[in-house]
Chain A
Amino acid sequence: MRKCTVTAASNMSGKTYEYLCEKVRAKFGDDIEFTRVTDDSVIGGFILDLNRHIFDLSLATQLKAMGRHLREE
């Protein structure tokens, strides 16, 4: 069984969480066990950690990336 951690800034609604789990299973297989984590620093969006393979869709990371983009000449 593979483990997948879903980190978000606040508790996701049950419906959203179930939808997300369904999408992940559809893409990576059914043998995935999900865990929820709450972390303020994410600000918004979520981060998926599937056996150390990270899919970062958090607002914090996007803001950092935008900051770098604005500094570029």
Chain B
Amino acid sequence: MSQVSQRNISAFLKQKIDDFNVAPVEFVKGTVASAGDGVVRIASLPGRLYGELLEFDGGIMGMALDLDENGAGAVLFDSADEVKVGDGVRGTGAVAEIPVGNNVLGRVLDPIGRALDGGDFQPEKYCPVERPAPSVTDRRPVDKPMQTGILAIDSMIPIGRGQRELIIGDRQTGKTTIAVDSILNQKETGVLCVYCAIGQKASTVAQVIQTLQNGGAMDYTAVVAATASDSPAMQYLAPYSACTIAEYFMEQGKDVLIVYDDLSKHAVAYRTISLLLHRPPGREAYPGDVFYLHSRLLERSACLSRRRGGGSLTALPIVETMENNISAFIPTNVISITDGQIYLESELFHSGVRPAVNTGLSVSRVGRAAQTDAMKKVSGTLRIDLSQYREMAVFARFGSDVDPATKRLLEKGEGLVNLFKQGKSKPYPLSRQVLLLLAYSLDLFTGIHEKEFPAHLADLLAYIDASCADLCRVIDETGDLPEDVKAKAEERLKAFGQRA
């Protein structure tokens, strides 16, 4: 359709209309045998597809999820109260589809592609919501970084383009903030983003959209939202719809970042549907296929081979834990599916360490393969430094007298912990991250008291902007830290240290 020009549009339409075969439509209409809680059982409707869209009397739409010899079990997308026993229902022969294309960017859609933000919306193209994941031969290893702009993550838990990195933690620990900051950091990088809200409060979704708008991120972001007030069917469908939108861009050779916020609520929606459809409950009352629910979704994230266009789809699924219990059913499932996790701890969050990343339990299985050379050169010992500091800090609590070497280690560690504290919606570009870590290695943060730290850091960032712009440019453009640039940076940072 995109190749149709103004000149040949009438010929194109004429040809299309000539090709159209006018034929009677013949089908069998089923009957609603029972209806309640957004789930219906349909009698006398054989031959339906799994996931087929069904049209009820009055134009109400639903989806077949349970098939048997004569009928089907289906979930309704909305207007659940309007379906009555005895109503007619027909299969459409089509599975659920969502609009894809460039005009979904900047829009807020529901999982079946209706615009939630008002205004006119003319879909370019439709794609099925459920699609198979790229095959093994269509993929290549993840080796390009997806910068989140968050120093603690980019330096110690690097995420690569095409990776699936889980963000896990209790409620109110900053999971969504990390995901949203990662989207904000993609400005002017060419990476497109999709934010998928599942079972969130509408006010929370509105807040996220506002943050994205304020940060100028809606120009390259699409939002798919099924809020807590939407039917379980809509919540179930939301991440698959969002993934289809993201996949379209990936198949165009683009790099895409998708956030699923969150998959624990998605699992709960699916559990609701399954229990209402009388499927046998398993562990924590989830149905037997709850693992497949998420594995088939997250497997659609990939780094495509050059032959397939070389695009990538990076997924940041979010899972909420209860009382820091990461060994519950859904968290362990998603941990095992993803390529690493960023674990956020409420204790750290409340003690002021934000983002509250527990570096001991957080891991990226792609690791240093997805880090720029510049970052590799300055972040080598950070994890060890931090774990040594934490270990020593526990012992130091019991006694006030420590030897000078231990004291220095503690002061340096405190400096690192303070350096990793980063404000909301304030991502650092790569060059700032590299220079800050270089400053850390030169002990520029050692012995700075926690209260004085923000002012000290602000001074340093202003100094970097004023005095190291040329070096920043080299680092951002090449992604490397050549020896001569490193030497110059060290010299200038030392000068700042002496001045401070």
Please give the residue numbers on chain A whose beta carbons come within 8 Å of chain B beta carbons, in ascending order. Answer: 49, 52-57, 61-62, 65-66, 69-71, 73
Which of B21-29, B236-244, B376-384, B445-453 is near enough to bind chain A? Answer: B21-29
Interface string of B1-21 (1 = CB under 8 A from A): 100000000000100110110
Bound CA span A33–B16, Å: 40
Query: What would 11 more interface pairs be, CB under 8 Å, given A54-B25, A69-B20?
Result: A52-B30, A52-B31, A54-B28, A54-B29, A54-B90, A55-B24, A55-B25, A56-B26, A57-B24, A61-B25, A65-B20
Query: How far, in Å, is A17 (CB) from chain B's closest CB?
Result: 18
Given contacts A52-B44, A55-B24, A56-B24, whether A70 and B16 have CB atoms under 8 Å apart is yes
- Ordered by A's residue number, 22 sampled pairs between the chains whose C-beta atoms are within 8 Å are A52-B30, A52-B44, A53-B26, A53-B28, A54-B26, A54-B27, A54-B28, A54-B29, A54-B90, A55-B24, A56-B25, A56-B26, A56-B27, A61-B25, A62-B22, A66-B20, A69-B19, A69-B20, A70-B13, A70-B17, A71-B125, A73-B125
CB nearest neighbor in B for A69: B20
Query: What residues of chain A lie closer than 8 Å to B31, measured between beta carbons?
Result: 52
* Residue B291 lies at the interface, judged by CB distance under 8 Å to chain A: no
Query: How far, in Å, is A55 (CB) from chain B's closest CB?
Result: 5
Are the CB atoms of B17 and A52 closer together than 8 Å?
A: no
Query: What residues of chain A lie closer than 8 Å to B28, measured between beta carbons?
Result: 52-54
Query: How far, in Å, is A19 (CB) from chain B's closest CB?
Result: 16
Please give the residue numbers on chain B whose beta carbons come within 8 Å of chain A beta carbons, in ascending order. Answer: 1, 13, 16-17, 19-20, 22, 24-31, 44, 88, 90, 125-126
Query: What residues of chain B lie closer than 8 Å to A71, measured between beta carbons?
Result: 1, 125-126
Bound CA span A73–B13, Å: 12
Query: How far, in Å, is B246 (CB) from chain A's closest CB?
Result: 20
Query: What residues of chain A lie closer than 8 Å to B44, measured between beta carbons?
Result: 52
Query: What residues of chain A lie closer than 8 Å to B22, measured between beta carbons?
Result: 62
Query: What residues of chain A lie closer than 8 Å to B26, measured between beta carbons?
Result: 53-56
Are the CB atoms of A69 and B29 closer together than 8 Å?
A: no
Query: What residues of chain B lie closer than 8 Å to A66, measured between beta carbons?
Result: 17, 20
Are the CB atoms of A52 and B29 closer together than 8 Å?
A: yes
Query: How far, in Å, is A33 (CB) from chain B's closest CB?
Result: 18
CB nearest neighbor in B for A52: B29
Query: How far, in Å, is A23 (CB) from chain B's closest CB?
Result: 13
Are the CB atoms of A65 and B25 closer together than 8 Å?
A: yes
Query: What residues of chain B lie closer than 8 Å to A57, measured between beta carbons?
Result: 24-25
Query: What residues of chain B lie closer than 8 Å to A73, measured between beta carbons?
Result: 1, 125
Query: What residues of chain A lie closer than 8 Å to B88, measured between beta carbons?
Result: 52
Query: What residues of chain A lie closer than 8 Å to B1, measured between beta carbons?
Result: 71, 73
CB nearest neighbor in B for A64: B25
CB nearest neighbor in A for B25: A56
- Which of B20, B44, B90 has most chain A Cβ within 10 Å? B20
Bound CA span A70–B126, Å: 13
Query: What residues of chain A lie closer than 8 Å to B19, measured between beta carbons?
Result: 69
Which residue from A53, A61, A62, A65 sits with its C-beta under 8 Å from B29?
A: A53
Bound CA span A28–B126, Å: 39
Bound CA span A71–B94, Å: 15
Query: What residues of chain A lie closer than 8 Å to B29, measured between beta carbons?
Result: 49, 52-54
CB nearest neighbor in A for B28: A53
Query: What residues of chain B lie closer than 8 Å to A52, measured between beta carbons?
Result: 28-31, 44, 88
- Which of B24, B27, B90, B126 has most chain A Cβ within 10 Å? B24
Query: What residues of chain A lie closer than 8 Å to B25, measured between beta carbons?
Result: 54-57, 61, 65
Query: What residues of chain A lie closer than 8 Å to B24, measured between beta carbons?
Result: 55-57
CB nearest neighbor in A for B12: A70
